Amino acid sequence: MEIENIIDAHSHLWLRQDTTWNGQVIRTTTRGRSLFMGEEVQMLPPFLCDGQNTAEAFLANMDYAQVGAAVVVQEFIDGRQNSYLRQVMQRYPDRFFCCGMADFLHPGFYDEVLHLIAIDRFPGIAIPAHRLMGQPLNSDEMMRVFRLMEANHILLSITLSDGPEQVAQLREVIEECPTLKVAIGHLCMAEPPAVEPWKNDAWRQQVLLARNRNVMIESGGITWLYNSEFWPFPSAVRALREAADLVGWEHLMWGSDYPRTITAITYRMAYDFVLRSPELDDSAKRLFLGQNARAFYGFRELPQLPYIKNMSE
Task: Encode pLDDT of 150-191 as tens digits.
Answer: 999 999 999 999 888 999 999 999 999 999 999 999 999 876
Lowest mean pLDDT among 195-199, 226-230, 281-285: 195-199
| pLDDT computed for residue 200 by the predictor | 79
Q: How would you classify the pairing of strands 124-127 and 96-100?
A: parallel
Are the beta carbons of 290 and 3 closer than 8 angstroms? yes
Q: How would you classify the pairing of strands 182-184 and 215-218?
A: parallel
| pLDDT computed for residue 163 by the predictor | 83
* Burial (0-12, 13-18, 19+ Cβ within 10 Å), 54: middle
CA-CA-CA-CA torsion sign (138, 139, 141, 142): negative
Distance CA 147, CA 235 (A): 38
Q: How far is CA 132 from CA 76, 128, 141, 195, 296, in A?
A: 10, 7, 14, 24, 26
pLDDT in tens, 81-131: 999 999 999 999 999 999 999 999 999 999 999 999 999 999 999 999 999
pTM of the predicted model, to two decimals?
A: 0.95
Lowest mean pLDDT among 99-113, 187-201, 251-265: 187-201
| Count of CB atoms situated within 10 Å of the CB of 229 | 14
Percent of the chain residues topping a pLDDT of 70: 97
Distance CA 4, CA 304 (A): 8
Distance CA 177, CA 144 (A): 10
Q: How far is CA 118 from CA 3, 51, 110, 149, in A?
A: 36, 32, 12, 11
Provide CB contacts within 8 A for 201, sequence distance 6+.
none
Nearest to 246 by CA among 198, 296, 307: 198
pLDDT at residue 193 tops 60? no
Are the beta carbons of 8 and 67 closer than 8 angstroms? yes
Most distant CA pair in the chain, distance: 58
Are the beta carbons of 69 and 95 closer than 8 angstroms? yes
Lowest mean pLDDT among 19-23, 104-108, 188-192, 290-294: 188-192
Q: How would you classify the pairing of strands 252-253 and 39-42?
A: unpaired
Distance CA 183, CA 9 (A): 9
Lowest mean pLDDT among 1-15, 98-112, 141-155, 184-198: 184-198
Lowest mean pLDDT among 45-54, 141-150, 164-173, 209-218: 45-54
CA-CA-CA-CA torsion sign (152, 108, 168, 21): positive
Distance CA 29, CA 297 (A): 34
pLDDT at residue 192 tops 80? no
Are the beta carbons of 224 and 188 closer than 8 angstroms? no
| pLDDT computed for residue 147 by the predictor | 98
